[in-house]
Amino acid sequence: MFHGSVITLFLGLCVSVALAEPAADTPVVSTNPADQHVWELTDYLKGTAPKIRDLVNGELERLTAKQKDVRQRCSGYDAAILAEQAAVTNAVHKSDAYQKLAAEKAQAEADLKTARETGTAQEKLDASSNFNRIRTAMEKMESSAVAADTKIPQLLKDKKEEQQEMKRCDEAVITAQKWRDKLISALRDTFKMKWPLTPGAAGILGMVTPVDDPDANGVTVEYVAYEPVETGGTQEGIMQIKAIFHQVRLHLTGMDTKGMHKGTPVAIDRNFTIVRRARGDEPERTYEARPAKDDIDRLFELLIPLRELPPPASR
């Protein structure tokens, strides 16, 4: 046992067991009975499991899709700018003036080679100076044409605006992610199996850590059960409570343990019930638990995965 201090819970600890009744002209989208359960968690989080899912995840999913779209547009500007610069430069290369300089450069390069092989110091200096003069003139023609192009400044302006939009998107996604994380944490704490862990006690497990790799008999995990001791304040329908935390071990059976490994934390957002009192001595005292089907399973099944939305409509 150890003292943890504060956890967060939704005020709606007692959830509604009413069934959602669709209007006569509204088709029922889901045939899962658990999707008809109406949850009343806060004034802003109430409805069926699909509705709660949309309320918790919708804003983050929308912002993430927008972020991805803006990022792709930002990356596209670099390619567009390079393509426009190449087009302008190619047009310069085809001009008579540039072609004349190119011919002069070729002759100057040959003269420079000859001067380096057989010429005097002055001849070498003159040949090098002439070659550099012509090369600089050609480079100036290219840079001047690029600088005079009207498309490139607009592309650069648009790129800057998109980068600013990207910054706003990144900040919005971070804010939405933090808010969703807070809601998920509060939901887990609300429906977690609480202390004391007597036979029949039930609730989801949330984050646990396997103490060994799973085997045919199940998996043993480290679990922290909280014991509420004092109610604190509330904010936006989320209540803080002071609690005593009890670190125990649960031996879990009747579940898919694929992907679970010793020492790697994993979320088990599924309802379990204690079926046997603890056996053994501290710190390896172990309770036995197995899944107990409940509508909360469906809520977390829909809630935890984030959907990848299509990009927003083009501006």
Residues 204-258: tens digit of each pLDDT: 999 999 999 999 999 999 999 999 888 877 777 777 888 999 999 999 999 999 9
**244: left (phi > 0), else alpha (psi -120 to 50), else beta?**
beta
Confidence class of residue 67 from pLDDT cuts 50, 70 and 90? very high
Q: Write the single-letter amino acid at 167.
A: K
If one compares 240 and 113, the residue with the highest pLDDT of the two is 113
Q: What is the pLDDT of residue 24?
A: 43
Q: 3-state DSSP: the chain helix, strand, coil percent, rounded to 5?
A: 50, 25, 25
Closest CA to 56 of 179, 239, 195, 174: 179
Least confident of 23-32, 112-121, 288-297: 23-32
Higher pLDDT, 124 or 18: 124
Q: Confidence band (pLDDT; 50, 70, 90) for 125?
A: very high
Query: Which of the two residues, 269 and 277, has the higher pLDDT score?
Result: 269
pLDDT at 10: 57
Beta-bridge partners for 148? none
Strands 238-252 and 286-291: parallel
Average pLDDT, the chain: 88
Residue 214 or 314, more confident:
214
Alpha carbon 308 to chain centroid distance? 10
Please, are residues 46 and 40 in contact by the beta-carbon 8 Å criterion? yes
Partner residues linked to 208 by β-bridges: 266
Query: How large a percentage of the chain has pLDDT more than 90?
Result: 74
What's the average model confidence in pLDDT over 69-81? 91
The two three-digit tokens of residue 17, written as one number: 């067991």
Overall average pLDDT of the 74-96 stretch: 94
For the cut 80, the answer to whether the pLDDT of residue 12 exceeds it is: no
Kindly report the length of the chain. Answer: 315
More confident residue, 237 or 139: 139
d(CA 5, CA 192): 17
The pTM assigned to this predicted structure is 0.75
Instruction: State the pLDDT at residue 18.
Output: 43
pLDDT one-digit tens code per residue, 19-48: 444 444 444 456 788 899 999 988 889 999
